[in-house]
Amino acid sequence: MSTRYVTILGKAVRAAMRLRGGGSALPGLVVERIDPNFIKATLATLPRGVVIISGTNGKTTTTKMVVELLESQGLKVFTNRTGSNFTRGVAAALLGEVNFAGKLDADIAVLELDEAHAVHFVRTIPPRHSLILNVMRDQLDRFGEIDATAELLRTITTATSDTVVLNREDGRIAGLQNTLVTQRVSFFGLSDDLLTTFPSDDQLHGGSSRLATAKADVTLKKFVDQTATFHMDGHDITTQLKLNGIYNVYNAAAALALVRAILGESINQTALIARLAHITPAFGRGETFIIDGKSLELILVKNPSGFRLGLQSFNPSGYATMIAINDNYADGRDMSWLWDVTFESLQDEGVEQVSGIRAYDMALRLQYDEVPLSDVTTNLTKGFKQFMSDNPKKPKRIYCTYTAMLKIRRQIGKIIDVESIG
Amino acid sequence: MSKQTITILQLYPRDMNIYGDYGNALVLLRRLEWYGYTPRLIAYNPGDEFPSDVDIIIGGGGQDSGQGKIQADLLSIGSRLKKLADADVPMLMICGLYQLFGKFFKTSTDEIIEGIGLLDIETYGKSERLIGNIILESEQFGLLYGYENHSGQTYLGKKVKPLGSVRMGAGNNTADTFEGARYRNVIGSYLHGSLLPKNPQIADFLIETAVVKKYGEFSNDVIDDSFAMRARRTAARRPR
């Protein structure tokens, strides 16, 4: 079948799925089955090639930042914005953007890819640049072990043709530079002061982490009250940010380093920083809604390090806190990770509501950290409504796993207008 | 009266502590406190001096790299651990250390990694990973709920009993229906989850054994395990 017909067919499936509501990857699957070369042929036409962002934590927010920063430099960027970060998710996203002749109107593609799927992807489509954020104990029930996951990430870096951007503070990621021969390597990093607030996976488990002493292209020096200081080109650059949570801000350093690698000398620094100041978090990554005059923050938690960083980043004082834990496939079925997070920071304020399929695993976890707990229910819809009605006068914060977040977002959507996540 | 102390030794927390193994240590610490004892947790890492006064020993799982880092040290303390096991000290070894408490681990490339042989078990590395929720039935402990994630397949010798038989999941291997191993008061198992929070009967077995051995009697206060019971009910309904 010609690309033209495959494209039309895929677009038709996509339109049909939209009418039915949801299902971001299925049209991609249809096209992938009929024409496995669809993605390759379409992306090959881009003048500035393909950029891949991978790692355990922060892919979605970082990808969003890179896209917006590149747009501030006048580039037209294609991305897999829906967060459906598998090959067919990319195909599905492409179908939304190409014209009926199968041509993509963009300068560059910036894609977030899951470690395991990225390996297959780079075999067909080697990226020009890649950014590897971190490797932590995430969906180990899917991939096996953390060292094996780091090896998957290595495959992405060795398939890269131009620049590989690495996290200097994560020993397993910084170590990926050792097998890179022809590629340029650039690092993003933290000042020594901030390093202590960013436990890597090994540090969480009593080991040491920073192995690399390499100079970082972009260093995050300071982050206080939504104001961040980055060090690059020998200067400190301080800017206000709309991002919540220090881990999002560290991802901004990663995004800056990647954009600097892509654009080189031609970068417009003023426009870059101006845009950075206006970037908002991706959905569920510290998003804030206003409901009845009070704020409601959603913090996505997927793994122990992310949960720890979230708890460290957001002061519970004065807030009503809810935790929603599901164990659907996309969340990971193994509940062990909750025991690698410490919840003692919630002891004073307590937790108002615990909900989700594994609500009682979470309640049990809080019991062993002696955190007071008001209400527990496995019925998430009921739990969310209860949480909202019990705490009308307080700002609220919900820590939630992926599928719990989607469900809570739907509930919020019934109260206020929530941007569609595709 | 000063409170009675119970010392827990955690083996190799730096290199062998994956999938929430800390949860097992935390549950023992808290329950001991709630029962009115003073718990002490000692981390033992390669090269450390092995403490003389130990009441409970626990150990967790690791990756292949972690096992490589601790194997020589483990062999060097093997005879001491065996003596403690034969003196009925309670121990809980999960996953990687369960395997290395056995006679050997033979990798899929036929490399032999020697264990300390405290447990009469043999483990063979396979390409298939056994992953998912698991439910066991144990003669002593009743139903046990956890999560397994291992590619080593373990076979029991004559000197050990299984911890339980598998109701859902794989367990020690894909050939028989056993999970884990028991030798005196030593428990080996593949169950993460973490194991002890949702299976407090095992935590209390370890605690009671240690306390009775050291102080002659165990004063058992009631702990509210209703969250654990509800979490078990959820676990019983979840897919593999």
- ipTM of the complex model: 0.96
| Fold category of A3-276 in CATH | UDP-N-acetylmuramoyl-L-alanine:D-glutamate ligase (3.40.1190)
Of A205, A364, A376, nearest to B197 by CB-CB distance is A364
Q: Is the dihedral of CA B200, B202, B208, B214 positive or negative?
A: negative
The total of other beta-carbon atoms located within 10 Å of residue B219's CB is: 10
Residue of A nearest to B223 (CA): A367
* Interchain pair B147, A340: CB under 8 A: no
**What residues of chain A lie within 8 A of the CB of B194, using their CB?**
336, 339
B2 has pLDDT over 70? no
**Alpha carbons A392 and B72: distance in angstroms, whole number:** 59
pLDDT of residue A38: 75
Residue with tokens 């949960």: A307
Give A43's Cβ-side CA count (13 Å radius): 29
* Mutate which: B12, B18, B150, vs A, most A CBs within 10 A: B18
pLDDT of residue A139: 46
Q: Which one, of B77, B114, B101, lies nearest residue B184 by Cα?
A: B101
* Interchain pair A361, B198: CB under 8 A: yes
B195 has pLDDT over 80? yes
Residue of B nearest to A354 (CA): B227
Identity of the amino acid at B225: D
Pick the more confident residue, A37 or B204. Answer: B204
Q: Which residues of B carry out catalysis? A: 95, 192
What is the DSSP code (8-state) at residue B158?
T
pLDDT of residue A202: 58
Q: At residue B11, what are phi and psi to the nearest 5 degrees? A: -80, 125
pLDDT of residue A94: 76
SS3 B85: helix
**What residues of chain B lie within 8 A of the CB of A359, using their CB?**
234
**Alpha carbons A232 and A98: distance in angstroms, whole number:** 37
B27 vs A: CB within 8 A: yes
Identify whether the C-beta of residue A145 lies closer than 8 Å to the C-beta of residue A122.
no
pLDDT of residue A11: 65
pLDDT of residue A349: 95
B190 vs A: CB within 8 A: no
* Interchain pair A206, B233: CB under 8 A: no
Residue of A nearest to B131 (CA): A141
Pick the more confident residue, B62 or B133. Answer: B133
Identify whether the C-beta of residue A116 lies closer than 8 Å to the C-beta of residue A143.
yes
Chains A and B: how many Cβ contacts under 8 Å? Answer: 105
The total of other beta-carbon atoms located within 10 Å of residue B53's CB is: 10
Helix axes A3-20, A87-97, angle to 10 degrees: 100
Q: At residue B56, what are phi and psi to the nearest 5 degrees? A: -140, 140
Residue B142 to chain A, least CA–CA distance (Å)? 19
Residue of B nearest to A373 (CA): B227
**Alpha carbons B199 and B210: distance in angstroms, whole number:** 18
B108 vs A: CB within 8 A: no
* Interchain pair A368, B197: CB under 8 A: yes
Strands A227-232 and A235-240: antiparallel
**What residues of chain A lie within 8 A of the CB of B13, using their CB?**
205-206
Helix axes A26-34, A87-97, angle to 10 degrees: 90
Burial A241-251, CB ≥16 within 10 A → b, else e:
bebbbbbbbbb
Its pTM stands at: 0.76
Per-residue pLDDT of chain A (422 residues; tens, 9 = 90+): 555 666 666 666 666 555 544 445 555 565 555 566 777 888 888 999 999 999 988 888 899 999 999 999 999 999 886 555 556 677 777 777 777 666 788 999 999 988 888 888 899 899 999 999 988 765 444 445 778 889 999 999 999 999 999 999 988 899 999 999 999 999 999 998 888 766 555 555 544 456 657 899 999 999 887 899 999 999 999 999 988 777 889 999 999 999 999 999 899 999 999 999 999 877 667 778 888 889 899 998 988 877 887 887 788 999 999 999 999 988 989 999 999 899 999 999 999 999 999 999 999 999 999 999 999 999 999 999 999 999 999 999 999 999 999 999 999 988 887 655 43
pLDDT of residue A37: 76
Pick the more confident residue, B155 or A140. Answer: B155
**Alpha carbons B115 and B74: distance in angstroms, whole number:** 8
SS3 A393: coil
Q: Which domains does chain B have, with CATH numbers?
A: 5-237 (3.40.50.880)
Q: Provide CATH 3.40.1190.10 ranges for chain A.
A: 3-276
What is the DSSP code (8-state) at residue B192?
B
Specify whether domain A285-415 bears CATH 3.90.190.20.
yes
According to DSSP, the residues that pair with B105 across neighbouring strands are B113, B123
Residue with tokens 């890649």: A130
